[in-house]
Amino acid sequence: MFAVLLLAGVLPATPTAAPAAAAWPLDLYFDLKQSVAFSSSWPNFGVIVVASILFRSTLLALTAVLADGAGASMPTALRNALRLGSLGVVVLLPVAALYFVAVAIRYAPFAWIAGGLGLVVGWRLCRRGVGLDSGLGAHGGSVPELSSFSLYAAAVMGLGLAVTSLGEGSVALAALLVACAGPFHALVWLGWRHRCAEEMTSPEGRVVTTLGVLVLAAFFVASGIDRNLRDYDVVPADYEGSLLLLGGADSTSRTGALVDLDPGALGYTRSQMELLSYAPDAGTYVAAHTRGDLDRIAVRVAEQIDETRDEPEVLLGHSQASLILDRIYERGVDLDATAVISPSPARPPSLEVPPPNTNGAGRVGGDLARALAILLDVANLASYDIDVPSAPVDLERVEVADAGVPRLALWALGDSILLESDWRRTGETNLVVFSDHVGATRNPRALQATRLFLQGEEVVADEGSWRSILVNVFRYAFEPWRPAK
């Protein structure tokens, strides 16, 4: 059935569709994440969720009854499956909502939290589903093991990558793969059911799980060191000209990833460095100024750049600064070189969010995002308002292939879990930094590459390197669980 939906264009030939026909509860989660992202109203969302519970629970109950054979009761199995399906919606909805918000506002920490929470919640639900009582008594709850469930989730991720690769050439081949994967999903679940009934454990997946844990641990340790323990490696301040800085979203004149930058790390003195302002009067700015219309902000920043300074003029930006520079490049700018650490992709997220209290695709996800923003505001944390003019879902793609300015983009590995297919900008030199969104601004490799690039020296791009491969591993690992068209 899902292969037919893929052929009809209802499902995309991307990793997003990989969990659609997966074993329970991954199939239920697929319905939730897509309905949160694309339901046009709350009643519509409610109908879809009820239909999903009925459909997915019936499949789960039927599979359990067929696996148990004589003596199994379909009414009993269905009743228990419906209870479990209702519980699954309750505990998986926060995961789907958090993924939606992460993609809509392009905030990777939310996706990391959703990924970890989804893995644990999905694993626990899967155990309950495998041990479903079909009238012969509930089975034990020790199968699947976390390593076994993680290995299966990795297989679903691999399936998503294969669907994408085949879909680029032929949607029919991608649909055929999805159809052929159906027996695989069934065999995995039946194998778990058998081991559960026999109370058998298995070491399968431990090597893969251990390797994944080690890679993630190395990444989080490296990011923590960059954020909290790293000192700037100062070089002799013998470069001429001006070093301009442009902060990211929610930065201020006194706070932000670049505010404490030691210009000595890039070969400049403090008298040569200037932080550009988001404020209308080009003075001291606050976080609210960074959430305004980016086209207008770009005009104000360009005016500051055009002011007379010592040449050559180079600019280092962070995060949202990349989107502002896109708009500045479009109108022309007198800069000698630019570098942006942890840039935002030029392409907006493939989601829609209607205005508050307005029906339309994304109504449910938008309302959940607003509710989360209120909770964060009450907790005195950054609220990440989805309705501000600079919200990624409201932006148009602006990209200048030949800006006439050498450009360097230093992508934080931690942000790669939100990247989509065409995340690189044409004409840029791209490097990958083994750190997170903020930690990358203190990463020694990132700062060394920035220093060399801004002075006109050659910096070798990371395309084809192990770092670039790792970006794609992270990206494809998370893409099946994110909402997308």
**pLDDT-derived band at 308, boundaries 50, 70, 90:** low
Residue 382 pLDDT: 76
Q: What is the average per-residue pLDDT within 275-293?
A: 92
Return the SS3 of 429: strand
Among 118-127, 156-165, 300-309, 322-331, name the most confident range: 118-127
- pLDDT tops 90 at residue 211: no
| pLDDT, tens only, 197-209 | 887 777 766 777 8
Percent of the chain surpassing pLDDT 70 = 98
Q: What is the average per-residue pLDDT within 147-173?
A: 87
| pLDDT, tens only, 86-131 | 999 999 999 999 999 999 999 999 999 999 999 999 999 999 999 9
| Residue 160 and residue 16 in contact, taking contact as beta carbons nearer than 8 Å | yes
Residue 466 pLDDT: 86
Q: What average pLDDT is seen over the chain?
A: 89
**pLDDT-derived band at 53, boundaries 50, 70, 90:** very high
Domain parsing of the chain, residue ranges = 2-204, 223-353+391-468
Q: What is the average per-residue pLDDT within 404-433?
A: 88
- pLDDT tops 80 at residue 442: yes
Residue 205 pLDDT: 66
**pLDDT-derived band at 140, boundaries 50, 70, 90:** low
CATH superfamily to which 223-353+391-468 belongs: Alpha/Beta hydrolase fold, catalytic domain (3.40.50.1820)
| pLDDT, tens only, 367-386 | 999 999 999 888 887 778 89
Number of C-beta neighbours around residue 72 at 10 A? 17
CA 264 from chain centre, in angstroms, equals 33
Contacts of 323 (CB under 8 A, 6+ apart): 294, 344, 346, 390, 395, 398
Number of C-beta neighbours around residue 27 at 10 A? 20
Percent of the chain surpassing pLDDT 90 = 55
Cite the beta strand spans of 287-395 per DSSP E.
Answer: 313-318, 337-341
